[in-house]
Chain A
Amino acid sequence: DFVLTQSPDSLAVALGERATISCKSSQSVLYSGNNKNYLAWYQQKAGQPPQLLIYWASTRQPGVPDRFSGSGSGTDFTLTISSLQAADAAVYYCQQYHGNPSFGQGTRLEIK
């Protein structure tokens, strides 16, 4: 099974600053057949369903602000929010879909 570990569990970042969330997989999610990383990122605000931000590790979902970016390959991935806005306060989850799908435990992002 693929185990995803996110870090940190929570962080507080000031408005306009950069926020970085890490997601590490116990196995590579890179599929050699198409050179794609089978990893997605979601944002979940309080009392709402999750929203898809990023898929294939770095492809931004249409409508997602370009301050959100995903990077990494294999087992190590990063979600970066380049200039934090108040609306970005949420819990962020990574999800792998290379094997049986699974999520990371989530990272709570607060505004400092």
Chain B
Amino acid sequence: EVQLVQSGAEVRKPGESLNISCESFGYRFASYWIAWVRQLPGKGLEWMGIIDPIDSETRYSQTLQGHFTISVDKSINTAYLQWSTLKASDSATYYCGRLYHSGDPFVEFWGQGTRVTVSS
């Protein structure tokens, strides 16, 4: 059974750094791209970017790129979403997902979500 298990909820202050994770189970990790999707409180879904676990090739959303980093450690089947300097506007629920087997960028399997709260 394919599962993506995300790290738990986080509370940080503005200016702090954060690293959230997404561990994959039940399939060959290197064979499928991983996506990250943001959902602001009470709002819709926003595509952040994707990463290829084989070579860490990354494609960021042109709208959201520049403020976060997507990475992967294929030795432990885990993808990461990282911020070096958080802002209050980063408060959201973040979902990871495994793309469809063709590599086309839609999500076939989703993690449970990680809620991030950034507040002073």
Contacts and interface: CB of A to CB of B under 8 A. Distances in A.
B69 interface: no
16 contacts: A40-B106, A42-B107, A49-B97, A50-B37, A50-B107, A55-B100, A61-B108, A91-B44, A95-B45, A95-B47, A97-B105, A100-B62, A100-B63, A101-B47, A101-B106, A105-B44
Nearest to B62: A100
Interface in A6-59: 38, 40, 42, 44, 49-52, 55
A70 interface: no
A106 B100 contact: no
B1 interface: no
A100 B107 contact: no
- What bracket does the count of chain A residues touching chain B fall in? 20 to 34
A52 B107 contact: yes
A49 B47 contact: no
A89 B119 CA distance: 32
Interface of B: 37, 44-47, 61-63, 95, 97, 100, 104-108, 110-113
Given A49-B95, A103-B47, A95 B113 contact: no
A51 B107 CA distance: 8
A61 B62 CA distance: 28
Contacts of A77: none
A102 interface: yes
10 A-B pairs with least C-beta separation:
A49-B110, A40-B106, A101-B47, A103-B45, A106-B44, A97-B105, A101-B105, A97-B106, A105-B44, A49-B95
A15 to B, nearest CB: 26
B43 to A, nearest CB: 8
A100 B61 contact: yes
Nearest to A95: B106
